[in-house]
Structure formats: C-alpha cells, structure tokens
Amino acid sequence: MITQPPFRKVFEGVATRQQMFHMFDRHGQAPMIKARLTGSLYDGEWFEIGRAEHDYMFEILPPLWIRGDMFALREFMTGSITSVFFALSIDGRPRYFHAYCDMYAKGSAERMRDVIVERESRPVRAMTRAERLDHIWSTTHADYRGYAGERWPEADQDKRTVLVYGGDQGTVLKLLDDLTDAEIEAKLPVHLRYLPAAIAA
C-alpha cells in the first residue's frame, strides 16, 4: 500500500523545464491501484519552478480558474486532481511553484499556498528525510526506479524501489524508504548532502 503525507516537497531547488515535465509524470510507473487511479498519489506534491516555466504553462491553455497569485490547469491529472501554479512573494522575492491539488477539497489550493510560503520562509535551508527520499525519487531515471512487485513480501508490494550500489553485492534493488543515511547521501547531489535535517511541516 502506498501512503503519502498531505503536503510533500518533492524536489529541492528550482526545476528546469525538462525536470518539471519529468516530475509531472513521476508516478508514471506506479501500479494501477486506488492511490493512482483516484489521484491521491499526486495530491499534495509541490516543487519550485522558474518564472519562464510558470508563464509557459499559463499560456498553454485557458486556465480552469485564476485567483490572484495562482491559477489551475483545465486538464486534470486524474479524478479531481489538477496542477495549480503559484507566483508568490517570499521574503520580498518573486518565486514560482507547481503543485497538485484536489479541486473537490474546498480551499485545497489556498492551504497549499500557505504550506509553500511557510516552508520556504524558514531562515535555514534544510531537508527532512522524506524530502531527501522524494528528491532522490524525482531525479532518478525511470530505468533505475520502480515499484515492488509480486516477488516482494506482501507488506512491501507497491512500495517504491531504487537501485543502489551494494558494495560486494554489486547493484541491488532496495525499497526507497529503507535507504540508509549513507545510501541517501550517496544518491543526493553534493550541494544537498550536508543540509541539516528539518522538522516535517
């Protein structure tokens, strides 16, 4: 079973256009279970983008709606989940974000905006363990990540997996959530490896 916290930063830094489109489909390999079909697998995920990417997405199609500093895409990911884009002033600087929000949940976009502003206004740059794992998942090529299938114990089936270097064992497939601190450090880019741990929002 796949479970997700309500709001999740899934990429550290400002995503390029290529990275943005890659993350739109970051669950493309997920099994066709309820979490994917209903969109709950996507709901609550967010990451930062550049102004050019924000403006590009605004011009693709007429938005579903525009509310001040945010707009929603007319095309839904699945179920009631769609992309919402934000243009926010944080610490006096304009910044831009993408998030998946549930349009059936009243105030979901506003709550997401508040979460983003709170998270990005923290004085010290830091990452939670969950954010580190999500960044690894977001930046790992689809050939080197997947989901545990029938050969795994039933309790682990449908959980995310990644290939890691196992020393004398060579490359091994491991549950993403089971990565050790050393394995996480090895998979993160150098500039993110030594960020302090953050308390989850």
Q: Which helix (H) or strand (E) holds 70?
A: strand 70-78
Confidence check: pLDDT of 109 > 70: yes
- How far is residue 37's CA from residue 134's CA, in Å, rounded to a whole number? 20
- How far is residue 40's CA from residue 51's CA, in Å, rounded to a whole number? 27
* Per-residue pLDDT reduced to its tens digit, 152-184: 888 888 888 888 876 777 788 889 998 888 888
pTM: 0.82
- Cα-based distances in Å from 15 to 44, 65, 142, 200: 17, 24, 17, 21
pLDDT band at 2 (very low <50, low <70, confident <90, very high): very low
Identify the pLDDT of residue 16.
93
* Per-residue pLDDT reduced to its tens digit, 19-61: 999 888 887 777 666 555 555 778 889 999 999 999 999 988 8
Identify the pLDDT of residue 35.
56
Identify the pLDDT of residue 34.
56
